[in-house]
Amino acid sequence: MEGHNTKIDLEKLEKAQRMIAEAMGEDCEEALSHSADRFARWQKAALVDPRTLYDPDNVKLYPVPEKSCVDLVTIKATAFSACEHHHAPAWLKATIGYIPDQHYVGYSKLVKMFKYFACKYTMDERICNDFLAELVEKVKPKGAGIILRGKHFCVISRGGTETDFPMMNAFWGDLKTDSERRREFYQHALTSWNDGI
């Protein structure tokens, strides 16, 4: 499972940005100097800082009450990511959730867990696999799932339309084996967004 490295070398990032600008034929001082610092700080803010908010060794759980009627917990999460093939930005939206067994986990912790695996140079497949494995390991639910969609600028910038939103999903436990539960999860995914994505 990947996602644990949150170190960053700002000086190397600045140098890399200057080299890219020069390789692209940029010769203005703004592009070769001030932009390098802004680029490095932006990389840190978008692809490193969100991952520092989740500590895999400190996931607080809450006991499920004996007479609890809650059988599916879902929440929406967004994340800024980047394609590891082209280093192009991607804006991701996910429906994440689980079927509780003995414990609940806080909503904000679920979102931070998702961002921990999404906010980096990566692939959608790896995000789904690693997030789901972490959720199962830490919360030990009866079932767990993620439905992931996103705007991938490596696709859009090379001729794909802005309506092309790749989607994938991953399920575990009861959400994988019980079609009714999985259908309910999909309904949550379809009805919760207000912006049509």
Band the pLDDT of 35: cuts 50, 70, 90.
Answer: confident
pLDDT for the residue numbered 197: 47
> Quick one: pLDDT at residue 160?
66
Residue 196 has pLDDT above 60, yes or no: no
Both 42 and 73 in one domain: the answer is no
Q: Looking at the structure, do residues 96 and 164 belong to the same domain, yes or no?
A: yes
pLDDT tens by residue, 116-165: 999 999 999 999 999 999 999 999 999 999 999 988 878 777 776 666 67
For residue range 43-57, what is the model confidence (pLDDT) as tens digits?
999 999 999 999 999
Residues 37 and 71 both lie in one domain: no
Counting the structural domains of the chain, the total is 2
Let me know whether 16 and 97 are in one domain: no
Residue at 1 is within a domain: no
User: CA–CA separation, 179 vs 176, rounded Å?
Assistant: 7
Instruction: Assess contact for 92 and 118: CB atoms under 8 A.
Output: yes
Residue 5 forms part of a structural domain = no
Range of the domain at 142: 57-191
Residue 165 belongs to some domain of the structure = yes
Whether 118 and 36 share a structural domain: no
Does the CA dihedral 133-145-107-123 come out positive or negative?
A: positive
- Please check whether residues 39 and 106 belong to one and the same domain: no
Q: Is residue 105 a part of any domain in this protein?
A: yes
pLDDT of residue 53: 95
Residue 165 token pair: 């939103």
Mark whether 148 and 176 lie in a shared domain.
yes
In a domain, 4, yes or no: no
- Give me Rg for the CA atoms of the chain: 19
Q: State the DSSP code for 143.
A: E
Q: For 88-103, write each residue's pLDDT tens digit.
A: 899 999 999 999 999 9
| Tokens matching residue 78 | 């967004």
User: Model confidence over 9-28: pLDDT tens digits?
Assistant: 888 988 888 888 888 887 77
